[in-house]
Amino acid sequence: MGCGSSSDCGGCPSQSSGCGGGAPQQPQDFTAPLHELSSVKHVIGVVSGKGGVGKSSVTSLMAITMARKGYKVGILDADITGPSIPKIFGIKEKAYADEIGMYPVKSKGGIDVMSVNLLLENDTDPVLWRGPILGNVVKQFYSDVIWKDIDYLFVDMPPGTGDVAITVYQSLKLDGIIIVTSPQDLVSMIVEKAVKMADLMQVPIIGVVENYSYFHCPDNGKDYQIFGESHIEEILQKYGLLLLNRLPIDPTIANLCDKGDIEAIEKTNLENVSLPE
Ligand SMILES: Nc1ncnc2c1ncn2[C@@H]1O[C@H](COP(=O)(O)OP(=O)(O)OP(=O)(O)O)[C@@H](O)[C@H]1O
């Protein structure tokens, strides 16, 4: 990379590779290609600053929403060390590969899914790989998997702003990201990191979903803010972001995820979210 200064190149590690003596250079393009048999119109990342806020559930609900609208949908589970998409959709079948490429597994509702858990012999085997290998797996899920006629490919991103998240931002041609958050104070601070990361990576933020926003008591009809008061409005205002929706704490979501039957959900509460056409 060029350093912008031509006065003294001594000791610079880029000297031998020839940095151009301070001449401005184009930023390197790390984008991975899609498989030649793939066709993907839009790639949407679903991110959270922190684990456990419901990122995989929101990815699944968003995918179901778009599939119900008649689009062809895929989910790339980039959360390699904590993959939960196959479990949420109750997919037991393993993915198949041949000399041409890898094939995603279809959910009951016809959503194409690729996840490391569809490749591991045993679902409970831990993935003990270091950052660069994890990043390569994500790239392979993008480049070596045949994503056929997909309108929306949702990427369940690894939580946080670490190595694999950077690889996803750099390698996948993301059209935009959805940020998932919860009302806790700590989480809202971490959301700001996710917002800044997207900014640095020059990926547009489609909007924010606040999960675990409230609990609607069926006995008295009142809403309770179990995780405390929301700070989402301040963050939305500060960064000019759109609130896609607030999702309640809903035992139905937890039960359906546990049963691997999320596609049986009646309403996703994300029906009004509009994605790039
Ligand atoms: N709105 C909700 N109401 C009730 N349960 C929920 C809701 N959202 C998510 N859950 C449950 O919370 C648990 C964690 O959700 P999920 O796996 O989606 O989180 P995550 O952010 O992807 O976690 P990780 O980052 O660790 O992968 C799951 O058991 C899920 O069923």
Confidence of residue 93 (pLDDT cuts 50, 70, 90): very high
Hey, what are 94's tokens?
């393993």
| The pTM of the whole model exceeds 0.90 | no
Best residue among 53, 57, 61, 191 to mutate for probing ligand 1, ranked by most atoms within 8 Å of CB: 57
Which CATH number does the domain housing residue 84 bear? Answer: 3.40.50.300
Rounded to the nearest angstrom, the distance between the alpha carbon of 38 and the centre of ligand 1 is 30
Total number of domains constituting the chain:
1
- In this prediction, residue 162 has a pLDDT band, given cuts at 50, 70 and 90, of confident
Residue 20 lies inside a defined structural domain of this protein:
no
Q: Give the three-class secondary structure for 259.
A: helix
Q: What was the pLDDT predicted at 24?
A: 53
SS3 for 112-131, per residue?
EEECHHHCCCCCCCCCCCCH
Residue 59 CA: nearest ligand 1 atom is: 18
pLDDT digits (tens, 9 = 90+) for 182-220: 887 666 777 888 899 999 999 999 999 999 999 999 999
Asked if the structure places residue 269 within a domain, the reply is: no
Specify the pLDDT at position 11: 46
- Is residue 211 one of the residues assigned to a domain? yes
Note whether residue 4 is domain-resident: no
Asked if residue 134 belongs to a domain, the reply is yes
CA separation for the pair 54, 157 (Å, rounded):
12
Residue 18: pLDDT band with limits 50, 70, 90: very low
Question: Residue 125 sits in which domain range?
Answer: 40-264
Residue 2 inside a domain? The answer is no
The pair of three-digit structure tokens given for residue 224, joined into one six-digit string: 């309770």
Nearest atom of ligand 1 to the alpha carbon of 51:
25
Which tokens hold the place of 177? Answer: 């990201």
> How many other β-carbons are positioned within 10 Å of the β-carbon of residue 272?
8
* Closest protein CA for atom 1 of ligand 1: 249
Residue 28 in any domain: the answer is: no
Residue 23 covered by a domain: no
* ipTM confidence score: 0.96
CA 149 to ligand 1 center in whole angstroms: 29
